Copies of this chain bind each other. A is one copy, B any other.
Amino acid sequence: MPIAALRAPLPDPATDIADAVRARIDGLAKPPGSLAALETLAVRLAAAQGRSTPVADRARVVVFAGDHGVAREESVSPYPPEVTASMVRTFAAGRAAVAVLARQAGAELEVVDVGVAGLTGLPPGTDGVRVVGARVAEGTANLAAGPAMTPAQRDEALQAGAAAADRAAADGVQVLALGEMGIGNTTPATAITCRLLGRPAEELTGPGTGLDGAGVSHKARVIQRALDRTDVTGPLDVLAELGGFELVALVGCMLQAAHHRIPVVLDGFIVGASALAAVRLDPRLRPYLVAATRSAEPGHAAILAAVDAGEPLLDLGLRLGEASGAALALPLLRSACAIVEGMATLDDVLSGRI
């Protein structure tokens, strides 16, 4: 196993505490179950954190960014690969969607360059944004033609992700919202999902940020070439053969966050593909995951069923990535925590103590 996060078994969720929180919620001043998904969320956070009063005040959004050989060589995105670097600069300037949404949610934003091509130096972060350099290479190799990365590069990306979780734990972060930036990265995400779920490319390939029908067909053929090229099925091998640096870093970050008992809010399809690989590496990761948003990508529903991260909290039709959905879901986590702590019990109300 390449990193410590993969060696040690993940802690079990605190089911005793979860049961106590469920009982407390059932006794609050409202019809039982009437806050529905918010109640389930509070119980899930309590189990993950091992706290009878779950907390989500200190939240950090982490966006891993990387480039992709397959985008450079196979035209799988309507946007040129240079946009990845441009967007990292826009994150740093606090003016990308996720920067605006994280600020609005009162969350910090950390951008981790794990493999952005053509980014000279690291842009200084402004306005609550931190940029971290952990570049494994200037983008991956073309996964349709050969392995996307070497095993050593994969391990380096896993480590970069785990390091982000360690920083969060050291800073007292209570929940992590994870996202990604990388032009073309629905292609590796779809390839990973197809391989781990045993599905053909044409079933799970979608338009990403905006391909037309012909573009989707072309992308599905590129992904199928990659799937036909290699028959690995172990999650670590799949990540090296079909992954992207940001996708691999997300895996390391999720697993290490669970070691720290920090719940992880998953953005859409691409983060979902990483969650799928991470859950294959250690199924005990599941209770630490919270699905923020339902993606329009055809592979996402299958991922959600496989990773068991709960029903997505939001279904707004988002198809941006960047952790935009995860950032938008943060107030719901805080609200779930607040009801556990702030509400009167039904006994208080009926007995006239209020």
Contact = CB atoms under 8 A, between A and B. Distances in A.
Chain copies in complex: 2
A349 B38 contact: no
A31 B316 contact: no
Give the most central of A89, A210, A328, A331: most B CB within 10 Å. Answer: A331
Interface in A1-59: 28-38
26 contacts: A28-B97, A29-B95, A29-B97, A31-B78, A31-B79, A32-B210, A33-B319, A34-B210, A34-B318, A35-B318, A37-B318, A86-B354, A90-B354, A94-B342, A95-B348, A95-B354, A97-B339, A100-B338, A100-B339, A100-B342, A101-B338, A101-B339, A103-B338, A316-B332, A328-B332, A328-B335
A100 B319 contact: no
Report, nearest first, the 8 A-B pairs whose CB atoms are least far apart: A36-B317, A331-B331, A100-B342, A95-B344, A37-B316, A34-B320, A31-B209, A104-B338
A160 B319 CA distance: 43
Interface string A332-349: 101100110011100011
Contact of A34 (B34, B86, B209, B331): B209
A137 interface: no
A232 interface: no
Nearest to A209: B31
Contacts of A315: 315
B105 A331 contact: yes
Given A31-B320, A318-B35, A332-B328, A343 B87 contact: no
B319 A90 contact: no
Interface string A79-119: 10001001101100111110111011100000000000000
Interface string A291-332: 000000000000000000000011111111000100010011
A214 interface: no
B328 A29 contact: no
A97 B320 contact: no
A234 to B, nearest CB: 34
B320 A35 contact: yes
A93 B352 CA distance: 12
A350 interface: yes
Interface in A153-198: none
B354 A93 contact: yes
A210 B32 CA distance: 8
Nearest to A315: B315
Contacts of A86: 349-350, 352, 354
